[in-house]
Structure 1
Amino acid sequence: MATEAPAPAAPGAPITARDGGCMDDTRWIVFVIGSSASGKTVTAKYLAGVLNAKYIEGDDFHPKANIEKMSRGEPLTDADRAGWLQAISEHAVVHLRGPGTHHLIVTCSALKREYRQLLRKGAHEAGDLRLLFVLLDVPEAELIRRSEARAGHFAKSNLVRSQLAILERPDSTKEHAEPDVIVVDGNRPLSEVEQSALAIVETAWHKADEEEKLAAAKKAATQ
């Protein structure tokens, strides 16, 4: 069973300030993930704008060979994606070190669990980062419709089926549980998808704030 997105917070509910930073010093990388044409770019740009966060388009890190392959309608292999994922991970971690870059929103398909684990590894090695994955889940027929309707993108509609074939969603089993992956129904009006994604991020940030305050209170009580 996939983890479902939280409902938008009720009016007046405590929520993390939309100032590009949590109350603590935690830095976040939010990956908006899913197959081609799922709406990653528009959703990620919306989050970055509302949250005053930086934005990175994962497709920009594909080597020329990958772009040419997908332009021919050929699906990428694990080997094709390995260097691409590593480049995204390394750039995201370094990018956050500059001024005004407390949080980062990144688009990346991250279809398999092993891909997401590679992205986690880079963040964990940095030591002060938290990760969140927002998976936009859209039916195959709708993905194909969107792919055929958009012009100028290298990923053609015939890649949709191959991407969905390798998509690994989080589930309730211990082996496949991924608590940092939240699934959003992407087959809805864009405004609803954006609001669901925003609720996910703000809920995660607020939870982190509360955990930080609780830890600080416990530490103070023992001193």
Structure 2
Amino acid sequence: MLVLQTPQHIVVMGVSGSGKTTVAKLLARRLAWPYAEGDDFHPEANVQKMAAGKPLEDEDRWPWLRAVADWMSAQARDRRSTVVTCSALRRVYRDVLREADGAVRFAHLSGEFDVIGERIAYRSGHFMPSSLLTSQFETLEELEEDEDGIAVDVDRGPEEIADAVLAGLDLRA
């Protein structure tokens, strides 16, 4: 009897500058799963708002989060597991993502404000200014025990972080 496995979606989450894109690309490559950059799902109005140094309101986030969940569902309908980046800072945001078809799991890249702030200072070409980091930390709600996911400290190299995610979520590359 053939048993089909439920597609899994690994949402690499955390504040801006935590290394989501770098780690997610490593995970996607190792797992040979499709990858999506959550920022690419933002409507232009959100990008402009953040580029102007204004934090997003929940009303700005709902369509974006639904677009990310819709992408994961579309992949699951084709029996594909995925890796996607998304800040997913609050539980209610993660709840929207969990509405996607398949099993939605989270890898929270966590770190100290100073460590992440230093990373942002050296980053170029991103619409998210470092001035919004404080509001992101204020918004962040840690994963709760009933949420399928892990937290991984970012105070190490990307390869080690990816190793910790794979081990913590019991995934094999």
How does the TM-score come out when normalised to structure 1? 0.72
Quote the residue 1:190 is aligned against. 158
Structure number with greater Rg is 1
> 2: distance between equivalents of 1:155 and 1:178?
30
CA RMSD of the aligned region, Å? 1.6
Relative to structure 1, the CA distance from residue 29 to residue 75 in structure 2 (aligned partners, 3 Å threshold; closer, same or farther) is: same
CA contact (8 A) 2:23 2:159 kept: no
Identity %: 39
> 2: distance between equivalents of 1:90 and 1:80?
17
AA aligned opposite 1:143 = I
SS at match of 1:117: helix
> 2: distance between equivalents of 1:191 and 1:55?
17
Question: Residue 97 of structure 1 is aligned with which of 77, 97, 111?
Answer: 77
User: What does the per-residue CA deviation read over 1:168-209, in whole Å, with 9 as the maximum and x for residues that have no partner?
Assistant: 0034xxxxx3330211111222222121012123x167xxxx
AA aligned opposite 2:42 = H
SS at match of 1:183: strand
AA aligned opposite 2:93 = Y
Structure 1 residue ranges, 4+ long, deviating more than 2 angstroms after superposition: 95-98
Q: Which consecutive residues of structure 1, in runs of 5 or more, have no partner in the other structure? A: 1-22, 124-128, 172-176, 206-223
Relative to structure 1, the CA distance from residue 71 to residue 153 in structure 2 (aligned partners, 3 Å threshold; closer, same or farther) is: same
AA aligned opposite 1:162 = S
Quote the residue 2:105 is aligned against. 132
AA aligned opposite 1:191 = E
> 2: distance between equivalents of 1:179 and 1:76?
24
Question: Residue 168 of structure 1 is aligned with which of 141, 154, 159?
Answer: 141
CA contact (8 A) 2:15 2:137 kept: yes
Q: Give the count of matched residue pairs.
A: 170
CA contact (8 A) 2:110 2:151 kept: yes
